[in-house]
Amino acid sequence: MLLNFHYHTEIESQQFARDFYQHLAKRRTVRDFAETPIPEGVIENCILAAGTAPNGANLQPWHFAVAQSHAIKKQIREAAEAEEREFYGGRAPQEWLDTLAHLGTDAHKPFLEKAPALIAIFQKSRDTDHEGKETKTYYPKESVGIATGFLIAALHNAGIATLTHTPSPMNFLNEIFERPKHEKPFLLLVCGYPEQGCEVPDISKKSLDQVSSFH
């Protein structure tokens, strides 16, 4: 089929690139969430946006499991906090803990129960192909990483704050969401509105020179 590509003028491209950067630069990872619910349809459309990501052989090797019920969020909190207690209490090398220290994180994760939605993103190692045949997936990690980036950007664009949470290991998510073994938890995205007076660490991003080179 013919590509439906929208060509911008030079000025539009420059303006859109700047605007989009400035919009994304406002995103902050939040750790204190209010209980305010997310408006209907927002998460659904953001998942659809994530699903537009480029991916290996268009097998779309991802699954997004959304927890909104208090009972499920509580189960996730309990399991994640058990893993995090081990992480902070000895499993993590001191060097890692030292690098993390400026963020002020610890094993206490009340936001997992308080935030209105948790999205567990799973990476599929197998799926059915376009003819319905079982197949392995290709570049699943890269594909799911890109889709997750799209999801975070889509949620930010819709005015929803997120926290990318990575308790390790995350196998408990397979049990809670009843997902098969060939789906590997990729990360848990906490979604909602920041608590009134929410504070974030005073951090900055690297400059263009530090992160890029033009040849």
- Binding residues for ligand IYR, per CB under 6 A? 84, 87, 100, 103, 105, 165-167
Closest to ligand IYR by CB, 45 vs 166, is 166
Q: List beta partners, residue 120.
A: 65, 188
Query: Which among 161, 29, 156 has a CA at the least distance from the CA of 100?
Result: 29
CB of 50 to ligand IYR, least distance (A): 21
Closest to ligand IYR by CB, 28 vs 126, is 28
Total residues belonging to the chain: 215
CB of 185 to ligand IYR, least distance (A): 13
CB-based contact 104:201 (threshold 8 Å):
yes
H or E element at residue 198: none
Q: How many CA atoms lie within 13 A of 71 on its CB side?
A: 2
Residue number, nearest CB to ligand IYR: 105
CB of 143 to ligand IYR, least distance (A): 22
Closest to ligand IYR by CB, 93 vs 132, is 93
